[in-house]
Structure 1
Amino acid sequence: MNIELLKHLVDYGVILLLVFMSFLSVWFFIERVFFFKSINISIYKNKRNLEIALTKHLSIIGTIASNSPYIGLLGTVLAIMLTFMTMSSGDIEATKIMASLALALKATAIGLVVAIISQMFYNILARYAEVIESRYDEITEI
């Protein structure tokens, strides 16, 4: 198989996975925000059921936040390995190598962006959930 084709498969495969993960993160964030805005806490019989409803999909966002840097780093490592393979085949043109290494780092950068955004989403939603649970506690004390 051609090394250039393999580079593109690794590069775009990892980036496509990270874009998909960011789409999931945004989707679940929007879904949770709408859920939190429309929730009627008085219909929940106990706090545990409320907590389960509030934290639905939060673990997915948290998992995306914690794993997307690793996926980006994996893409970078694979792309650098392929660059070294290209170098070992005798194709040692400095500009080509530097361009390949720079492109390899974009996977890590995209992974970090996805992680930062997903972590912000997670923190915002976790805080909303805490506030709603506090309101539930106030209602049940009365």
Structure 2
Amino acid sequence: MEFLKESVDYAIFGILGIMGFIALWLSIERVIFFAKIEFEEYPTLESFEDSITKHLTTLYIIYSNAPYVGLLGTVIGIMITFYDMGLSGNIDTKGIMTGLSLALKATALGLAVAIPTLIVYNAFYRKVTLLSNLYKTRNSNVKDS
């Protein structure tokens, strides 16, 4: 149990840190990609949409699962707090409150990763819709000419 007590924060924070780093990396990559996009490089709508939606699934997975990873850390932290309370045999309100408040930091970090990723994902999804419509408009104008 001591190993779990000492390693749970590192494991949960490490996983959430990696998720946050990947989300940031992919967000920067998409911003750069959208800034340099050339419609002429894509012969079909399908190839265009495949290209502009790249990495959106990964962002979706991160924003939808980061809160659960944080919640897992919180549940484990609460279990450790109750375990320690049971071993000590006394009810120390200060110790319980401290343990529970420290356990909640994992959920807070999970939300801190998920919320910005959700915002970025929705912004990119809107950009994809706009670019897809623009591609369709440009190609219909070319065919009409």
TM-score range, shorter chain: over 0.9
Percent identity, please: 41
Q: Give 2:36's match in structure 1, choosing from 16, 35, 38.
A: 38
In the alignment of these two chains, the number of paired residues is 140
Q: Which has the higher contact order (CA 8 A, sep 6+)?
A: 1
**Structure 1, unpaired ranges of 5+:** none
Q: List alignment gaps of at least 5 residues for structure 2.
A: none
Alpha-carbon distance change, 39 to 113 in structure 1, aligned in 2, over 3 angstroms: same
Cα distance in structure 2, aligned partners of 1:6 and 1:128: 43
Q: TM-score, normalised by structure 1?
A: 0.93
Higher mean alpha-carbon deviation, 66-75 vs 94-103, is at 94-103
Distance in 1 (alpha carbons) for counterparts of 2:28 and 2:40: 23
1:94-141 CA distance string (max 9 Å, x none): 222211110100111111121111100101111111111111111111
- TM-score w.r.t. structure 2 length? 0.91
Q: Which structure: larger Rg? A: 2
Question: C-alpha separation between the residues in 2 aligned to 1:83 and 1:126?
Answer: 42
Structure 1 segments, 4+ long, off by >3 Å, are none
CA RMSD, Structure 1 to Structure 2 (Å): 1.2
List aligned pairs for 1:19-98, cutoff 5 A. 19-90=17-88, 92=90, 93-98=92-97
